[in-house]
Amino acid sequence: MTSIKLNGRKHYRAGMVSLAALMALGSATSAVAQEENEVMTLEEIVVTAQFREQNLQETPLAITAVSGEMMEARSQVNIVDVAVQAPSVYFIQAGAAFGPSLGGEIRGVGQFDFNPAYEPGVGIYVDDVYYPILTGSVMDLLDLERVEILRGPQGTLTGRNSIGGAVKLVSRRPTGESQGYVSASYGSRDLIDIRGSADFTLSEGLYARVSGVHKEQKGWVDRVDYGCANPGNPEGIAALLASGGGRCNFDSLGGEGYSALRGMVNYAPDDKLNILITADVTNVDRTAAADVVTVSDFNPNMICGPTCTYANYYLPATETSAANILDPRSRFKGWGVSANIDYAISDTLQLQSITAYREFNAKWGTDDDSTADPAFGAGGWNDMSHDFFSQEIRLNGQVSEGIDFTVGAFYSDQLTTYYTIQDIRYIPGFALQFQGNDPVNADSFAVFGTVIASVTDDLTITAGVRYTEESKDYTFVRKNYDGTVSFALGSLDGVTAEYSGDQVDYRVTVDYKFTDTFMGYATISTGFKGGGVTARPFNATQALEGSFDPETLTNYELGFKAEPMENVRLNMAVFYNDYTDLQIPISDCTAYGGGPCGVVLNGGDAEFWGVEAELEAQPVDGLSINASVSYIDTKWNRVDERATSINIEDRVSSTPSWQASFGIQYEADLGDNGSITPRFDVTYIDKRFVGRGLGDPAFLPSYTLGNARLTWRNADQDLAVSLAVTNLFDEYYKTSQFSALYGFTGVSYDTLGKPREWMLNVKKDF
């Protein structure tokens, strides 16, 4: 994990955007510096990613650490907001088809499919507890001390193996200082956001902290009743809503409804023992994601417009199928408890145990063709229950002066039951309706170790290894609506597909401190994304022969961390990834019993390479500048002949080639009247490859987002009033595309990013 040591003024960091921008800023800030005649020194960032306190500039890892104060200043409210300003990191909230889930990639490696048969490519941790599947990972940034983003394969030091990297959310721990805050916000589309925390002492050595949030907001994409809005339409579609007063909207998509509560108790009777118990509960109830149809070849009338949709979540009864009315909301209820125990066996030996249990239930309906046309259609209902237990033990120690080590073990066991009702009508003359109730078991066991040896005062060698065993089984239940065996998918009913395997990973890093302000490092590390089974087969052969092995990646990385001036910090890394056995969905199942195809196989090898840079500068007292930039490119080296939907010339990853961010703020001291701080952030996301679902290579356009915030604080620094505007330029942009049904329905739809929004916030510290 990573901590940020802050003394005095709040400390903000992000990275580097471009040389031209920096030159322009340099001239401006130099003028300010001359006027103020004072040069500031950057405050130290202390990290413990290798289980010893180290200055960030002396840690040979690609890390972005974001403090809670910085997230507030940037108006960031969830993981997606934070990730977009880190180099080579891209996260999105899933479209309506995938429910309340989070998809993401680091350095082009990740996962976007929510199904528990598939493993995440990026590890998500909250207070050292691993989150094993994507559903439920879109978490609010509640009372956090920091967010850490580690790029490149992780696993030889902690937790579950993560092939792309890891994102760690670290909550503020109880300190017994009898402090806290209350915050209230109101904004666009009736946004209400209320949150707060309180820290207090229960008794000597026993401290508690309670934090909570409630947030609600209306959506911005209108879900319109086609028959109501288009009376006398050529398709003969009747209105589902009464059109009294001209109202033809069902509701608005993209809304918010989020509540969470977390309690922490910290027992620290002496310098040797520390026990932290954490419990939390989360409830989400919101409208579906903001999806709009952008392509409708078979019936162009089904394109409603740039911010509306004719998705009616209704499939009428026919001679061969029953009617389905689906719920256009996304719901999630979850809770968890964990115990983090630290015990100092001696001055050079420390034992840490992390035990956690979590469970949730998620429900969401889908209108998979996102139209009202009864000539073709698809929809579903999803109800997922999940239980997860994990145990991690780490022993940190020192063999002798200059040689530190960490050894540990990790175990997890999870059960996910995925109930679904599916209604598929896009195949002419054939309507497929079935229900599933599939249990998915998965467990993982690993042992790991790392040694950090200081060969000289300037030269350090780090070596780590990890051994992992994992297994998974998926039992398919395929019934008709009346409970009898499905007439079309009956060969699957009761079939259990299995996967098991093991993997060895390693990391070797050499770093050298050339000067007191310049450290360089070289790393070779490996990682893998676990194997699994095909989650959406159409016959028993696809299920039984559709298991796949892990993806594997070898990362070669060179980097440096420098402070060329007392008020400038610059970190850069270049990497090359040798990526093998990529897990690829295929569309031709001739080799798997024929028919419609849902098989995933290890179908390709590829290589990725890129460069990342982060800059922080504080030219004068009160002025902070941070920026980042990254570039990544990819190439297929091999594509299995069965993966006919992939062209070897295509881009391998959906991560944008270029990403950049820039932020600037100035805190002006008003004496007895407090201070006022204007801040501006801008983020650029290059065009994004989303596959060949429409036949030709498809890209979502690039976009630039600007955020602005103006904050007044009183002289005592315990009251703040802020006015924030996100997406300042009201950019119309798309975050994902769903075109899986295009070949059958001629329809493709996109998920939209949020429009311009304003928010007024009042925060009181006590």
Q: What is the pLDDT of residues 125-134, one digit of tens each?
A: 999 999 999 8
| Token pair recorded at residue 57 | 């500039």
Q: How far is CA 491 from the centre of its chain?
A: 37
pLDDT of residue 594: 84
Which H/E stretch holds residue 395? strand 378-400
Which tokens hold the place of 366? 């889908």
Distance CA 595, CA 539 (A): 8
What are 213-238's pLDDT values in tens digits?
999 999 999 999 999 999 999 999 99
What percentage of the chain reaches a pLDDT higher than 90? 72
> In this predicted model, what pLDDT tens digit does every residue of 681-708 receive, in sequence order?
999 999 999 888 787 888 999 999 999 9
CA distances from 342 to 183, 352, 397, 709 (A): 33, 5, 13, 40
Average pLDDT of the residues in 142-152: 91
By DSSP bridging, strand 179-187 and strand 165-171 are: unpaired
Domain layout of the chain by residue ranges? 19-194+333-667+683-692
**What is the per-residue pLDDT for 400?**
85
Task: Quote the longest CA-to-CA distance of the chain.
Answer: 85
Least confident segment among 94-98, 230-234, 517-521, 759-763: 94-98
User: Which residue from 592, 460, 437 is spatially nearest to 521, judged by alpha carbons?
Assistant: 460
pLDDT tens, residue by residue, 563-607: 999 899 999 999 999 999 999 998 888 888 888 888 999 999 999
Left, alpha or beta for 594 (phi > 0: left; psi -120 to 50: alpha)?
left
Q: Is residue 630 within 8 Å of 659, Cβ to Cβ?
A: yes
* pLDDT value at 9 more than 50: no
* Burial of residue 641 (number of CB atoms within 10 Å: 0-12, 13-18, 19+): exposed
Which residues, listed in sequence order, are joined to residue 496 by a DSSP beta bridge?
Answer: 475
Q: Cite the beta strand spans of 174-254 per DSSP E.
A: 179-187, 191-203, 206-217, 221-224, 249-253
> Distance of CA 210 to CAs 70, 173, 180, 367, 762, Å?
21, 10, 9, 39, 20
Contact of 533 with 497, CB cutoff 8 Å: yes
Q: Are 446 and 467 in contact (CB under 8 A)?
A: yes
Regarding the domain delimited by 19-194+333-667+683-692, which CATH topology (the fold level of the hierarchy) does it fall under? Maltoporin; Chain A (2.40.170)
Nearest to 51 by CA among 395, 506, 469: 395
For the chain, the residue count is 766
More confident residue, 595 or 305: 305
In contact, 682 and 724? CB cutoff 8 Å: no
Distance in angstroms (rounded) separating the CA atoms of residues 55 and 68: 19
Report the share of the chain in percent with pLDDT over 70: 93
Instruction: Give the predicted TM-score (pTM) of the model.
Output: 0.90
pLDDT at residue 445, rounded to an integer:
97
Using the structure block, give the residue that is written with the tokens 């792309």.
164
CA distance 48 to 538: 48
Contacts of 527 (CB under 8 A, 6+ apart): 152, 153, 154, 155, 161, 162, 163, 164, 505, 552, 553, 555
Tokens of 459: 């030269």
How would you label 141-162 residue by residue, b for 16+ Cβ within 10 Å and e otherwise?
bbbbbbbbbbbbbbbbbbbbbb
